A and B are shown apart, each in its own frame.
Chain A
Amino acid sequence: MTDDRGKCDEVRRNFLRGIGLSAAATVVQPAWGGQTLGDAFAGFFQKHYQQMSPEEVEAALERIERKAKARYGVDITCKDTPPLEGVVFGYAINISRCKGYRDCVHACVKENNLGRDSQVEYIRVLEMDQGTSNLEHSDHYYDPETVPQEGKYYLPIQCMQCDDPPCVKACPVEATWTERDGIVVVDYDWCIGCRYCMTACPYWARHFNWTDPEIPAEEINPDTHYLGNRPRERGVVEKCHFCIQRTRNGQQPACQEACPTGARIFGNLLDPDSEIRYVLANKQVFRLKEELGTEPKFWYFSD
């Protein structure tokens, strides 16, 4: 008896405490999508990345870090590491080594803080029939017991980081451009979400946040770059950026690192001794839709 009464009292105390806490919380809780009013205001007036002064960039990076803390409860760092001198990135995939595991797809999702529910995946692996290179005979959703399947080969496709990108031409507000190291980047704080760039891309490489990306807090990658894997919001376009937060620090992109067969070869096109240059000089490489004149920096070969 006494125990029950004690329990009732405890329940009532907890309930009242809960109400009090939530009342207090609504007052101090940041609104505006997980940021304070001041940050929301400053964000509204934030300039285009290429027109911000170093102090303004610093303030923007800090806003991103604060917003991530408020939204996910995680401490992240956001940098804007500039391009390395004398570097233009290139990528090659050995399609006789790709077995269609999709390890690259999921490593990318984790590395780049992609929404787990918004179904944005920068890499899509196509299962192709042997004997044809017609993409319309491909299967994007293959799910057999084991891969590789008999009579099939696999073609991973992601942003080709074109040298003459139609998406950069299309954007009405210059929210996407090519950096000096060849990476085509997006200023997620500038994009208005018109999706004209997605229309223009011949490789279906650009993706839209139809809703706010949901990332489990414990899986967030805290090492972020302003033009790369910093947490994004709904309503903006994003795409593969050659893991700019890693590659500008000399690391391999996450997809290359994840591939267990070593099918992916990444490096500096301006270094004549690099593996990518060796591939281009010694293997029979091809690029997708080369006739469109986009000059992709992503090659395929087999041996």
Chain B
Amino acid sequence: MYGKGLRALSISTVVAMALALALVFFYAPLEAEQGFLQKIFYLHVPLAIVALCGFVLGGLLAIQHLRTREARWDMRSYVVIHMSLIFGVATLITGSIWAKGSWGHWWVWSEPTLVSFLIVFLLYATYQPLRFAIEDPERQSRYASVFAVTAGAFVPMNFIAVRLSTAYLHPRVLGSSSNLPGPMKLTFMVSLLAIALLFATLCKYELTAKHTRQQVRQLRRRLAGDGDAAPRRGRSAVPSLQGVTAMSAPSSGRTGL
């Protein structure tokens, strides 16, 4: 079941978040150039890394869906991309706040890091409308998987392109995490772990909720006496786990999509 291990994961997330916040505000030293403002780095950068990794993971899960045609992989890909979009919103907002404090502007169009992340975000913002536009569940899941794979391949290419660009206007507090002094590096790593755990926990919550809801719907149909009938499904962007064997566990839930 999707809910297995959710409690342990939730507790780990809370502990990691508390530890990360304590390290950020009481352990990590102040950066010489930006001072206290640099504390946003421990939130903004892990959010961006986790969001981008989530987009890539969504593509990998979509490959698995295209290989096996099992609906559960499509659902996982959908949830991971959905969550990455939420983390992407948080990245853009915290980045704008940092830019305002650092440069005096909410947004700088000449900065490649900001603009490239916005492009990736806007690309994935079309994922949900794409799904919603296709009514047939089979076609919807197939097209969405192809989109997720293509866009997932675009993310690392975009990252490399930005790294190769010559303009370094972004407030690179430190060039990369390998250049960070010990306490800052430790704080950054713990923050990254905490945000990654938060991402995993929220994804698991979402998957559990969606699976439970679909099981309840299936149960309702069975009690109504049309359990063998095809599920009546309105237009929706959410993938369906229901099909031939909808009430089975997700691990054995091949649905014939």
Q: Do A and B come from one complex?
A: no
